[in-house]
């Protein structure tokens, strides 16, 4: 074979092999860089969350916790992360922080807290807490931060947990008690009534006032539309939380039901599942 032709063939082979190697190497580098960008180590995210919390930047801390829950669902301390995120979400709901779910509203003549709560499907308690109001008095021209995104509730009886949600986002997970012998009804309900310091009518007997140690409803009652005998309420026996022990209602610790009471308005959807 002509020597020049042989040299040309060898040079072509070397060029092709070299090009393939370089492309493969670069592809590996790019893949590695992309992996590093999208899979931030969980310990780094925890450190970032702690740093942002210490600086008072709750929104950025929330983002870090959200990434852990989304990217590391099998993390061995995921329940601790969920608990921290839940507390942070509640702080944000009750804070003046502007979020995608909120608007900045200027009060006009004729406004009242009740009217605004009905118009924007929220509660007067949430408006007052988020804006630091000590009374129901509001003045024309003042600005209020209003939460406008609807809430919903999911109760899982087998786990005895209640999820407070906004759309598909889980904001906080509460431990609850449900009915003995699985009698808590399954289905979709709506909150039809809300009562502070409810009176308990036990088996058709005389009313038991809220301050009585015999009142099993605790400090708050939120009744369902389809059956007014069932609802979400507090308890005098927080040690019973987590058990299937009630007469059919969803039972929460008093501090938890008071928190939920201030957040969800009448009409909120409640889904109960096995």
How many angstroms separate the CA atoms of 170 and 166, rounded? 7
How many angstroms separate the CA atoms of 113 and 125, rounded? 9
The Cα-based distances of 131 to 6, 126, 257, 274 in angstroms read 84, 8, 21, 38
The sign of the torsion formed by the CA atoms of 13, 19, 22, 28 equals negative
251 has which bridge partners?
177, 233
Burial class, 138, CB count within 10 angstroms (exposed 0-12 / middle 13-18 / buried 19+) = middle
- Range list of H helices, the chain: 3-38, 42-54, 58-71, 78-93, 113-119, 124-131, 254-263
**Cα 7 from chain centroid?**
70
Catalytic (active site) residue 229: no
How many angstroms separate the CA atoms of 230 and 223, rounded? 6
Catalytic (active site) residue 249: yes
Evaluate whether 99 touches 130 at the Cβ level (below 8 Å): no
104: phi then psi, degrees, rounded to nearest 5: -105, 110
Catalytic-labelled residue, pool 24, 26, 175, 233: 233
Catalytic-labelled residue, pool 25, 26, 237, 249: 249
Active site residues: 233, 249
């Amino acid at each position: 074979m002509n020597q020049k032709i042989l040299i040309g063939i060898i040079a072509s082979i070397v060029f092709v092999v070299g090009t393939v190697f370089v492309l493969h190497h670069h592809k590996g580098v790019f893949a590695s860089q992309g992996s590093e960008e999208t899979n931030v180590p969980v310990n780094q995210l925890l450190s970032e969350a702690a740093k942002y919390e210490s600086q008072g930047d709750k929104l950025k801390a929330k983002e870090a916790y959200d990434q852990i829950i989304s990217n590391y669902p099998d993390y061995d301390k995921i329940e601790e992360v969920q608990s921290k995120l839940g507390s942070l979400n509640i702080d944000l709901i009750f804070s003046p922080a502007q979020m995608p779910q909120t608007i900045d509203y200027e009060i006009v003549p004729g406004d009242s807290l009740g009217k605004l709560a009905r118009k924007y499907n929220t509660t007067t308690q949430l408006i007052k807490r988020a804006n630091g109001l000590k009374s129901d008095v509001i003045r024309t021209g003042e600005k209020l931060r209003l939460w406008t995104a609807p809430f919903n509730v999911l109760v899982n009886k087998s786990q005895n947990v209640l999820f407070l949600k906004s759309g598909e986002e889980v904001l906080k997970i509460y431990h609850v008690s449900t009915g003995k012998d699985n009698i808590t009804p399954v289905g979709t309900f709506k909150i039809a009534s809300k009562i502070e310091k409810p009176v308990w009518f036990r088996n058709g007997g005389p009313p038991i006032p809220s301050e009585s140690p015999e009142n099993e409803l605790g400090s708050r009652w939120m009744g369902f539309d389809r059956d007014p005998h069932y609802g979400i309420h507090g308890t005098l026996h927080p040690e019973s939380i987590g058990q299937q022990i009630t007469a059919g209602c969803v039972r929460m610790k008093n501090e938890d039901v008071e928190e939920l009471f201030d957040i969800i308005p009448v009409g909120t959807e409640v889904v109960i599942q096995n």
